[in-house]
A and B are shown apart, each in its own frame.
Chain A
Amino acid sequence: MRVGLFVPCFVDAFRPGAARATVALLERLGVRVEFPAAQTCCGQPQFNAGLVDEARELAGRFCRVFEPYDAVVAPSGSCVAMVRKHYPGLVDGHPVAARTFELCEFLVERLGVVEVGARLPGRAALHVGCHQRRELRAAAPVERLVEAVQGLERVPVASDEWCCGFGGTFSVKFPEISAEMGRRKLEPIRAAGVDWLVSTDVSCLLHLEGLLAREGGDRPRTLHVAEVLAARGTTP
């Protein structure tokens, strides 16, 4: 199986560690990963802002770049939802859309792996991004993988299923609402006194991290789920 790695622009620029961890994890599980250097962005920012033509162009580009692969894996539920759920309406019937997977669903549903040999000490709240949860309906694989990490206690909190408030361009079109949603999301997480806030999406994490930084304090620290699953007992 030829597996192409898609590294969303957010991850590439701000959290390359999540992409590195994705590669390390997949290779540890015997999956050979290729990274086509011509890739850029899935087009979701344009699509969600109503710029359909621009989004279609980027979708076409994505499909051409990833055409040669049997499966495309990305460490982002949101970008994968864009590809799998919205590409069919943009680039009619291109086969790449259906074979694009978020990392955790790829591990659990395609490879059948739940125990990946990860070790990470501490207590963690888990934020499965909304598109992964409600568009891909793939929250369960993430939960199973995280709950199988040795040494890590997953702490359920009341706001687990709430949106973080990022929402792409929403975060700058309506910054006051976006930030307030994030603060409300974080309240129960902070109250739970967890060490880690883990998410499937770097975009959600950048927003929440930005809010946490303004509030001060050193906990929780944010981690991408790939970083958690690649951890070998030491702090990633």
Chain B
Amino acid sequence: MTAGGLRRRARAAVADRGLGDKVHRATLRTVEKRAHLVAGIPDWEDLRRRARAVRLEALDRHDELRAAFRRALEARGATVTTVATGEEAAALVARLAREAGRRVVKSKSMTSEEIGLNTALEAAGLEVTETDLGEWIVQLAGQPPSHITAPAIHLGVEDVARLLRDRAGLELPAWVAREGTAPQAEREALARELSLAARHILRARFLSAEVGVTGANFLVAESGTIALVENEGNIRLATCLPRRHVVLAGLDKLVARDADLGVLLRLLPVSATAQRQSGYVSLLADRHPDLHVVLLDNGRRRLMDDPEQRDLLTCIRCGACLNACPVYRCIGGHAYGGAYPGPLGAALLPQLAGGERFSDLPFASSLCGACTDACPVGIPLHERLLQLRARLVRTGAARELGATLRAAARAMRDPRRLRRALHLYRLGRPLLGLLPLARRWSRSRAFPPAARETFHDEWARTRGRPARDASPAPSRIPARAPAGPPGRGLPAPDPADLFAARFRELGPAGETEFRRFARAADARAFLRELLDGVPPDEVVRPGTPHPRREVRFGMTGAEALIAETGTVALSLANRDETLASLLVDTHVVLAHPSLLLPDLATYHARRAARKAASGGHLDVLLTGPSRTADIEKTLVIPAHGPRRMIVVLCDEPLDPGTM
């Protein structure tokens, strides 16, 4: 093998058992929660098929879609630049940032990891702050992320506490200081304290940054929409507060239609974090005064034309294949040595520009197929690894064991030669440990004893002739009766009830509150009581400018309420308008029951239809208060956005501007 680094790194990773313990705990927890959620989604397999179809279609139509996306963005005054290599992309982002200022807030972006963007930005004299909690933690640690959606999965709460002590002057709890252990409740309390400290430190960075750099989950060609998915609110802050917004995204992020989001944005949160819907989905199609999109090729365009491997570009970066992968669980993400770990990384990294050094990765899989089962867009990942192995052998890039396997194949041409080889094994077994290759087995495993007589020999000795057919007939069981027709559907529940139930689930400690009123007068009385004694400058309403500091209450209306997920959708003219639901302690939503929609699919279909007529606005989907689980998967509310969310549903119209 030309690139032997993976085995060396993996050996070190395996030796650190605590690492494997942490990664196992976190990934298996997500796997279990996801399986539970998927079991309740009857059209899951259909969604997977549709997702694969729309993603493949986007590859087929790539050049056309990229041109359409560019036209849509340019019509709104943004710039769109396609760059061939990582170096060019990093240089362009650095130039765009320097033009606007010195301080950059970044949201988590695997594409930026792929091109080493932070190093380039810092070399250009910029001050870069990662704002996703997990990503900020690994930035403090001077490490790359080790998981696509959980960057600090390899660190324990005590590691994070030490990092924050050094960088943010925090005091360590006694059990961490003496390198001891603590019960789970205490670990969770510390995770919460650290998450809230991070919120405080990062808030100042958001407010002073001149540039926000984000990735993108999807880029919609027909409307020029930039879709961004998160839980913490850091992406919303990074796209709303700084003057300039720079988007760095791979060519593979394009999709044709807004309606495609109705499929992809349902699959992604379930697969990534085992949520029905992520906390915040921003669908940016507004007329931003200073927006720049950098589209990265770096080998993608060539891969699109590879009939065998192109579907790797349909990946939606959910990380489900990492969680499902027993290799990843044992070695963690860093051992892979590139931006994309796990089965996806093992298949993709060797095919991006400069991928030669990753030619050992496709072999680092037991081909168990758990990744293929987990992939929400149906990429047969383990088959892609197999095909890559064949290519690497054909081109001579992978040679290890080749001679041995060819010799074995020759022996297998003839059963007598095979038997001679087995005989040799029997005789030589005590000495096998002297062979380097054999030692690779025996360092951790005993050699199996060879049988005294192979089955071949035994059969030849005992049954020269065909066996007699003298046994009793098999007992047969009837084939299982097909399941009966499903029971008559129960009457459809009131969407308001489903919304209320799902919305309440989002605030396990009362962070979400749902109130329903028949009469506007009663709703007004409730709000009067809620705001009693609150100074007027602590309440932001539509039409009043946000002071760009956190205020206690933000009052808004809604564009839609989505029952299936407990989501509130807002439609806004510009990014300042989003602050009333973001830079506040409590977000109060006033809504009429006519805004209720059954599910996300309906929402996205309606948004797609509406788009053609309007344009020039942004939509934000809010599913509960801001949250993070980046430290040992401990849920902490709030992250960067509101701590509390109240939905007031009133049968008579209410105007949030006057409440």
Contact = CB atoms under 8 A, between A and B. Distances in A.
Interface of A: 7, 9, 11-17, 19-20, 23, 27-35, 37-41, 43, 45-52, 54-55, 57-58, 61, 111-115, 130-131, 133-135, 161-163, 165-182, 184-185, 206-207, 209-211, 213-214
B504 to A, nearest CB: 31
A111 B3 CA distance: 49
B385 to A, nearest CB: 10
A49 B367 contact: no
A128 B327 CA distance: 18
Nearest to B410: A54
A51 B446 contact: no
A134 B451 contact: no
A20 B412 contact: no
Which of A48, A50, A111 has most chain B Cβ within 10 Å? A50
Given A111-B474, A162-B326, A210-B446, A180 B390 contact: no
A211 B444 contact: yes
Interface of B: 1, 6-7, 10-11, 14-15, 20, 24, 326-327, 329-331, 363-370, 372-373, 386, 388-394, 398, 400-402, 405-406, 408-409, 411-415, 418, 422, 425, 437, 440-451, 453-456, 458-460, 463, 466-469, 471-479
A51 B471 contact: no
A177 B458 contact: no
Nearest to A9: B418
A213 B447 CA distance: 9
A46 B474 contact: no
A48 B386 contact: yes
Contacts of A52: 390, 393-394
Given A38-B415, A54-B406, A184-B330, A209 B448 contact: yes
Contact of B389 (A23, A29, A49, A114): A49
A51 B190 CA distance: 52
Contacts of A131: 367, 369
Contact of B372 (A55, A134, A168): A134
A5 B408 CA distance: 22
10 pairs of A and B residues whose beta carbons are closest in the complex: A167-B366, A210-B445, A50-B389, A163-B368, A50-B393, A179-B444, A134-B369, A130-B368, A54-B409, A213-B446
A177 B412 contact: no
B368 A40 contact: no
Given A28-B471, A112-B477, A176-B10, A37 B456 contact: yes
B400 A177 contact: no
A172 B446 contact: no
Nearest to B364: A174
B455 A20 contact: yes
Contacts of A19: 455
Contact of B401 (A28, A172, A181): A172
Contact of B326 (A12, A41, A49, A165): A165
Contact of B405 (A46, A165, A213): A46
Please classify the interface of chain A as helix (H, G, I), strand (E, B), loop, or mixed, using the class held by over half of its residues: helix
Nearest to A111: B474
Given A27-B471, A58-B409, A134-B370, 11 more contacts: A16-B454, A50-B391, A52-B393, A131-B369, A134-B373, A169-B363, A170-B365, A173-B400, A182-B445, A184-B329, A211-B445
Contacts of B24: 184
A114 B1 CA distance: 47
A153 to B, nearest CB: 22
A34 B386 contact: no
B382 to A, nearest CB: 8
A121 B458 CA distance: 28
A49 B444 CA distance: 22
A14 B448 contact: yes
B466 A14 contact: no
Contact of B476 (A20, A38, A111, A171): A111
A115 B327 CA distance: 37
A167 B368 contact: yes
A108 to B, nearest CB: 9
A13 B474 contact: no
B363 A43 contact: no
Contacts of B476: 111-113
Contact of B331 (A46, A57, A177): A177
16 contacts: A30-B473, A32-B469, A41-B408, A43-B409, A49-B401, A57-B413, A61-B412, A112-B479, A113-B475, A130-B367, A167-B366, A173-B363, A176-B10, A180-B14, A180-B330, A184-B20
A46 B369 contact: no
A48 B450 contact: no
A41 B390 CA distance: 19
Contacts of B406: 46, 51, 54
Given A49-B393, A170-B366, A180 B20 contact: yes
Given A7-B455, A32-B467, A181 B393 contact: no
A58 B417 CA distance: 14
B475 A115 contact: yes
A20 B364 contact: no
A7 B393 CA distance: 28
Contact of B446 (A39, A168, A209): A209
A128 to B, nearest CB: 11
A49 B451 CA distance: 26
A13 B326 contact: no
B365 A167 contact: yes
A134 B330 contact: no
Contact of A175 (B443, B450, B455): B443
Contacts of B390: 50-52
A32 B469 CA distance: 6
A114 B477 CA distance: 7
A74 B476 CA distance: 21
Contacts of B364: 170, 173-174, 177
Contacts of A33: 467
B405 A214 contact: no
Contacts of B363: 49, 169-170, 173-174
B454 A172 contact: no
Nearest to A178: B366
A30 B326 contact: no
